[in-house]
């Protein structure tokens, strides 16, 4: 690495460890083999290792597949990291909270009063089953405190804090 950085050798062949903090301003060309095996963020980091000096640079993303690849297309279209992060989120999904899946669509669902009447009725029935018919939540101070986050003080006459 020192010889490459110092200009004593012109070519450096490396694994993805090159991604970690390597700064060689005179590096102008990078070829990433099997680029379709990497994620958008890692490819963006890798290509950021070239073009750090005053010379123009090129990063070649090589793949054996003839299929279109939305990740590689995104990297070709922009160098904006925030835009790439948004594209990555739309392609991979936000992951799940209720399982260990780190990709895919969220398992959380928002209810609609118009569309999910059965779910709303079930939620009400469950809430009544938990707190009973008590007009205040004085027996449930933790729940009352949590609800104060969502309900303004003027609308919270039914909440009693201890």
Domain boundary among 92, 109, 142: 92
Q: Is residue 107 part of a domain?
A: no
Which pLDDT score, from 0 to 100, does residue 78 have? 94
> Do residue 135 and residue 84 come from a single domain?
no
> Do residue 88 and residue 142 come from a single domain?
no
> Who contacts 5 (Cβ-Cβ below 8 Å, separation ≥6)?
24
CATH number, domain of 76, equals 3.40.50.300
Q: Is residue 77 part of a domain?
A: yes
Distances (CA, A) of 11 to 1, 64, 83: 10, 23, 31
Q: Give tens-digit pLDDT for 108-139.
A: 666 676 677 888 889 888 888 888 766 677 77
Q: Give tens-digit pLDDT for 9-27.
A: 999 888 887 766 678 888 8
Please give the Cα distance from 118 to 111 (Å, whole number): 10
Please give the Cα distance from 105 to 94 (Å, whole number): 6
Phi-psi region of 26 (alpha: psi -120 to 50; beta: other; left: phi over 0): alpha
Q: What angle do CA 31, 90, 80 make, to 5 degrees?
A: 50
Asked if 147 and 159 count as a contact pair (C-beta separation under 8 A), the reply is yes
Q: Is residue 130 part of a domain?
A: yes
> Who contacts 123 (Cβ-Cβ below 8 Å, separation ≥6)?
111
Which pLDDT score, from 0 to 100, does residue 72 have? 94
> Do residue 64 and residue 139 come from a single domain?
no
Question: pTM above the 0.75 mark?
Answer: no
Q: Is residue 12 part of a domain?
A: yes
Q: Is residue 10 part of a domain?
A: yes
Please give the Cα distance from 83 to 50 (Å, whole number): 20
Task: Report how many domains make up the chain.
Answer: 2
> Do residue 88 and residue 140 come from a single domain?
no
Which pLDDT score, from 0 to 100, does residue 17 have? 79
Which pLDDT score, from 0 to 100, does residue 118 have? 86
* Residue 62 belongs to domain spanning: 2-92
Q: Is residue 73 part of a domain?
A: yes
> Do residue 84 and residue 8 come from a single domain?
yes
């Amino acid at each position: 690495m020192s010889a490459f950085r110092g200009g004593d050798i012109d070519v450096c062949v490396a694994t993805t460890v090159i991604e970690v903090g390597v700064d060689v301003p005179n590096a102008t060309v990078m070829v990433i083999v099997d680029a379709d095996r990497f994620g958008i963020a890692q490819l963006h980091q890798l290509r950021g290792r070239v073009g750090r000096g005053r010379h123009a640079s090129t990063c070649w993303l090589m793949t054996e597949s003839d299929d279109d690849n939305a990740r590689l297309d995104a990297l070709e279209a922009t160098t904006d990291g925030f835009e790439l992060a948004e594209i990555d989120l739309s392609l991979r999904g936000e992951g799940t909270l209720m399982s260990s899946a780190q990709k895919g669509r969220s398992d959380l669902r928002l209810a609609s009063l118009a569309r999910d009447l059965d779910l709303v009725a079930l939620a009400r029935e469950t809430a009544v089953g938990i707190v009973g018919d008590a007009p205040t939540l004085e027996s449930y101070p933790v729940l009352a405190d949590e609800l104060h986050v969502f309900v303004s003080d003027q609308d919270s006459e039914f909440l009693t804090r201890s």
